[in-house]
Structure 1
Amino acid sequence: MRDYEDITAFLGQWGQFQSNVFFLLCASVFPNGFGAFSLVFLTDVPSHHCLIPEVNLTEDWHKAVIPIEVVNGKRELSRCSRYKLDVVRNLSAQGYIPGRDVNLTDLEQEGCVDGWSYSKDIYQSTVVSEFDLVCSEQWKQPFTSMVYFLGVFLGSFLSGQLSDRFGRKPVLFATMAIQTVFTFVEIFSPSWTVFSILLFFSGLGQISNYVSGFVLGTEILTGNVRVLFSSMGVCLGFAFGYMMLPLFAYFLRDWKSLLLGLSLPGLLYLPLWWLIPESPRWLLSRGRVDEADAIVRDAAKKNKVEAPEVIFEGYNADQTQAKEHCNFFSLLRTSNIRNTTVILSLVWFTLSTGYFGLSLNTSRLHADPYLSCFISAAVEVPAYISSWLALRSLPRRVSVICILLLGGVSLCLIQAVPQGLSGLSVALEMLGKCGITTGTALMFAYTAEIYPTVLRNTATGTCTTVSRVGSCIAPFLFQFGINFRYLPYIILGTLSGVSAFATLFLPESFGQPLPQTIEQMHKRESMTCPFITRKKHSKPVVLFENKL
C-alpha cells in the first residue's frame, strides 16, 4: 500500500489549499496565547494594607496605625495587621503622639477586621482584590492558577481520545467554543468558588484546541511545509497572541473588562468551520475513503491541478487500519510503545513545569508587569525560529537533548550570579526559558512524527496531559523561593538533565513520512532506536524514503 504523501504528491507541498489551512490554523491559536497567561494579570496581588474606617484620628496616628515591616530588605506597610483600633483611638483622643509619647512596638495588633485597602496604581481591580485573596486566604491565589491547569489537564486527556474517535475538526471547534464561552461567563462570578469552577471549564478548552489544530495541520500539510507549520507557524501564532496579552491588560485594567476583551475575539472564529477541512489521513484511518477523496479533490481544484481518476486506490473500509480503534490503553499495549510514551511524558512534564513556572514568574523580572509579560512573550519568537531551523536540519534526538541541556545549565547558573548583577540573572532566566520553549515546540513535532495516525492525537493529548501535571505544580514552584531563592532553578535544571538522558532512548523520526499504522511505528523503532533490540530479518527492512 502506497504512503499517503506519495498518493497526494500531485497536490504539491504549497498551493492555495495548503496556504489556507496553514494560516487559518495558525490564527486559530491566537486566543490560546493571550488566554493561557491572563492569570498573570487576573490574579496579580496589588499592594495592600488593612482598611482604616472613618474614625476620629489625628494625622500622625492615621499614618502610624499600620505597622512597618521589613520585607526582602525593604520597609513597607504591613499587609495583614494594624494596631488595635480601639487603643489607637483612645491614645489619639488623649493627645499622645506616636513614636514620641508612645512606643509603637508595645501596642497590641489585630488583623484586618474591616477588610483591606488596595493600591490602584497598576490595576483598577483583580480577582485578588475582588475576593480578598490575601493574608489567611493567600493560598487561594496560586490555587486559582492550579484549578485552571487542572482543567487544562483533564481537557488534554479527553480531547486527544475524542479527536481520534470523532475527528480533529469537531474537537477543534468544540474546545474553542468552550474556551470562549466560559471566559465570558467568568465575568459574572459572584464568589471566588464560582470563579474557580468556571475557570476550570475554561481550562478544558485552552490547550485542547491547540493540540487538535496542531495535529490537524500536521496531517494535512506535507514535507517542509509540515515542518514549518509544526515548529514555527502554529507556535508563532501562540507567541503573537501571548504578546497581545499585555496590550489588552494595559488598556483594560479591571479584571472583568479584561475577561470581556479576551473572550470577544473568539466570535471571529465561527466562519472558520466552513473554511478548515477535516484531516484526510484521519478519515482514511476510519475507513471513510469517500470523504477523504472529496477533500483531496477540492484541494486539487483550489491548487489548479488535475487529480487522478482514482486517488485512494486500495483503501476501503475493510482494511486493517480502518479497524484499529485505538484509545489510551493502546499506548501501553506493547513494551516499545509503553517505553516511548513514558519517556516522552517525562520530557513533556519537565518542559511544561519550566515553561509555565518561568512564564508565571514574569512579575519578578521588572517592576512593570506589562513590560515583564512582553519580554517573556518576545523571547518565544527566536525560540520558535530556532526550533524550525533545528527540525529542518538536525535529528530530533540530538536537537531535544541539546535544548534540554541549554535550558537546564542556564537555570542552574543563576545561583552563581552575584546579587549586584540582577540583569545577568534575568538574562540567564530568559535564556533558560528560550531553551525550554524551543524544546516544547520540538516535542510537539517529534511526538506527532513518532506515533501513527490512529494513535497520534491520543498520544499527543496524553503527553500534554502528563505535562499539565507540571503546569499544575508551576504556580507553587516559585513559592519555594521565599525561603531559598535558587531552589526552583535547581529543580528545573535537574529535571532538564534527567530528561536529556532519557531522550537517548527515543526512536528517531527525522527524514521519514508520518507512520499510518502501529505496525509501521514498531518497524521504525526497531530500525532507528539504538537502545531497542532489533529483530533479525533475512533482508534489510526499508519502510520509507526520505521525504523532507
Structure 2
Amino acid sequence: MAQSIYMAGVLVGALVLGGLSDRFGRKAMLMWSYLQLGVMGTCTAFAPNYASYCVFRFAGGADQEGPSTVGTPRVSRVPVSLAVVEWIPTPYRAITVAITGFAYTLGQIILAGVAYAVPHWRWLQLSVSLPFFVFLLYSWMLKSNMKEELAALKSSYTVSDLVRTPVIRHIFFCLSIVWFSISFSYYGLAMDLQNFGVSIYLIQVIFGAVDFPAKVVVTVSLSYVGRRLSLMAALFLAGLVIVANIFVPTELQTVRTALAVIGKGCLSASFNCVFLYTTELYPTPIRQTGLGFGSTMARVGGIVAPLVKMMDEYYPFLPPAVYGVAPVVAAVAAAFLPETLNAPLPDTIEEVENRSKRTPTGDPKEKIALQPQDGPPLKEA
C-alpha cells in the first residue's frame, strides 16, 4: 500500500511539475524538488506511525518528478530538458544523455551496497535523503539562459497545446504509448526479482550493471542510426526476450535471469532514447509539459503493472505475455514518429507543424543551412 501511495505521488508530480517548470523555470522547480526530497525523505525516516509515513512517501514521490530520481532506469528529467536539449549542441546530446544515465546506473549499484551495509530501513531512508540538501546547494549555482523566453511564454501556452494541432497531437499519442509500455514492462520485471533464485542485493547490482553496455550501444545507435530506429529496436528486443522467458523452464534460473537482464537493459536503452527523442520532438514552449505527460504515462504504467501481475494466480503465462507484448506495440507506435537526428530544435508549435508538410530534397546544403548556429537564438521583431 505504501508503495502504491508513493507511485500515486510520483504521478501527481509528473502532472504538476512539468507545467510549473515551463511556467516558472527549470532551475526554480529543480531547487524546490531537491529541498522537498531532502525534507520529506528525512521526515519519512523519523515517521512516528504508518499514516504519517505514507503521507511523507506521497510527498516525496511527487517531488521526485523534479529531478526524476524515481526507481526507473532513466536519467534526470529537468537536468536533461535544461542542459542536454537547451544548452548542449545537437551532435553532443546523445552522449550527454548517456553520461547522465551512467550516473544513474552507478547510483543503482551503490544503492545495493548501501542497503546491504545499512539494513535498518530508517537509517537507510535517512542515508539516501540527506544528500539532496547537498544537491540543493549545488543547483543554486546553475545558470539559466531562458528567463526572457519563459517570461514571454507564461500566459501563452497551456496543456491543451499538446492536442490542439494535428502533428503535435500525433506525437503526443505515440509517445504516450511508448512511455507507458516502457515503464509497465520494467516494473513487471522488477516485481520478479525475488523469483530468480539470486540474492536480492546481487540481482540489484546485476540489473544496474547491465545499463552500462546497453547505454553505450544505444548512444552509438542514436548518433548514427537515428532516434526512431534505435527506439524501435530496443523496444522490440525487450518484448522478444520477455516473451521468450515464458518458454524457459523454471528450474533453468540462470537462463531466466539472463533473459530478464537483457530485457531490463533494452528497457533502460529505451528510456534513454525516449527521453532524448521526446525533448527533440516537442517545441520549446511545451517541451517540459510534454515531457511531464510522458512521465505521467510512465507512472500509470508503473501503477498498472502490479495489477497485471495478480493474474498469474490463474494464468501464470499471462503476465509475462502482456509485459512482453507491450514493448512490441510501443515499437509499432514509435515507427509513426518523425526522425529528429541532426534536426534543429523546434522553437514554436508552428515550426513543428510546418516541418511535417515539407518534403526533404536530400540536398546537403539545405541540411547544413538547417543546423542551429552558435550563440543565442535570434528574436523576431
Higher RCO (C-alpha 8 Å, min separation 6): 2
Same fold (TM over 0.5): yes
**CA separation in 2, counterparts of 1:544 and 1:488?**
50
Which residue matches 1:235?
A: 101
Which residue matches 1:276?
A: 142
Q: Is the 8 A contact 2:211 2:268 kept in 1?
A: yes
Moved more, 387-396 or 469-478: 469-478
CA deviation after TM superposition for structure 1 residue 483, in Å = 4.0
Equivalent residues in 2 for 1:56-455, closer than 5 Å: 143-209=1-67, 210-218=76-84, 219-230=86-97, 232-278=98-144, 280=145, 282-286=146-150, 325-455=156-286
Q: Which runs of 5+ in 1 are unaligned?
A: 1-142, 288-316, 530-540
CA deviation after TM superposition for structure 1 residue 276, in Å = 1.2
Stretches of 4+ aligned residues off by more than 6 angstroms: none
**Distance change (3 Å), C-alpha of 1:381 and 1:509:** same
Amino acid at match of 1:244: I
- Computing the radius of gyration from Cα coordinates, the structure with the larger value is 1
Q: Is the 8 A contact 1:513 1:544 kept in 2?
A: no
CA deviation after TM superposition for structure 1 residue 324, in Å = 7.1
Moved more, 389-398 or 440-449: 389-398
**Distance change (3 Å), C-alpha of 1:419 and 1:269:** closer
CA deviation after TM superposition for structure 1 residue 447, in Å = 0.4
* 1:469-515 Cα distance to aligned partner (Å, 9 max, x none): 01122344434334433322100111112111111211111111211
CA deviation after TM superposition for structure 1 residue 546, in Å = 4.7
* 1:219-250 Cα distance to aligned partner (Å, 9 max, x none): 111133222112x0221111111111111111
* 1:297-338 Cα distance to aligned partner (Å, 9 max, x none): xxxxxxxxxxxxxxxxxxxx7xxxx58722211101112211
* 1:512-534 Cα distance to aligned partner (Å, 9 max, x none): 121111111112233479xxxxx
**CA separation in 2, counterparts of 1:384 and 1:469?**
25
Q: Is the 8 A contact 2:25 2:150 kept in 1?
A: no
**Distance change (3 Å), C-alpha of 1:277 and 1:450:** same
Amino acid at match of 1:261: S
**CA separation in 1, counterparts of 2:150 and 2:251?**
61
Q: Secondary structure at the match of 1:505?
A: coil
The number of residue pairs the alignment matches comes to: 360
**Distance change (3 Å), C-alpha of 1:177 and 1:476:** farther
Q: TM-score, normalised by structure 1?
A: 0.62
Q: Which has the higher helix share?
A: 2
CA deviation after TM superposition for structure 1 residue 413, in Å = 0.6
Q: Is the 8 A contact 2:227 2:277 kept in 1?
A: yes
CA deviation after TM superposition for structure 1 residue 426, in Å = 1.1
Q: Is the 8 A contact 1:357 1:475 kept in 2?
A: yes
Equivalent residues in 2 for 1:493-512, closer than 5 Å: 493-512=324-343
* 1:373-412 Cα distance to aligned partner (Å, 9 max, x none): 1111111222222221111111222111111110001011
Q: Is the 8 A contact 1:178 1:204 kept in 2?
A: no
Q: TM-score, normalised by structure 2?
A: 0.88
CA deviation after TM superposition for structure 1 residue 340, in Å = 1.1
Equivalent residues in 2 for 1:453-464, closer than 5 Å: 453-464=284-295
**CA separation in 1, counterparts of 2:136 and 2:123?**
22
**CA separation in 2, counterparts of 1:470 and 1:496?**
12
Q: Is the 8 A contact 2:17 2:65 kept in 1?
A: no
**Distance change (3 Å), C-alpha of 1:363 and 1:420:** closer
Q: Secondary structure at the match of 1:286?
A: helix
Q: Is the 8 A contact 1:145 1:475 kept in 2?
A: no
**RMSD over equivalenced CA pairs, Å:** 2.3
**Distance change (3 Å), C-alpha of 1:359 and 1:207:** farther
Moved more, 388-397 or 157-166: 388-397
Q: Is the 8 A contact 1:361 1:478 kept in 2?
A: no
**CA separation in 2, counterparts of 1:468 and 1:458?**
15
CA deviation after TM superposition for structure 1 residue 154, in Å = 0.9
Q: Secondary structure at the match of 1:382?
A: helix
**CA separation in 2, counterparts of 1:502 and 1:193?**
41
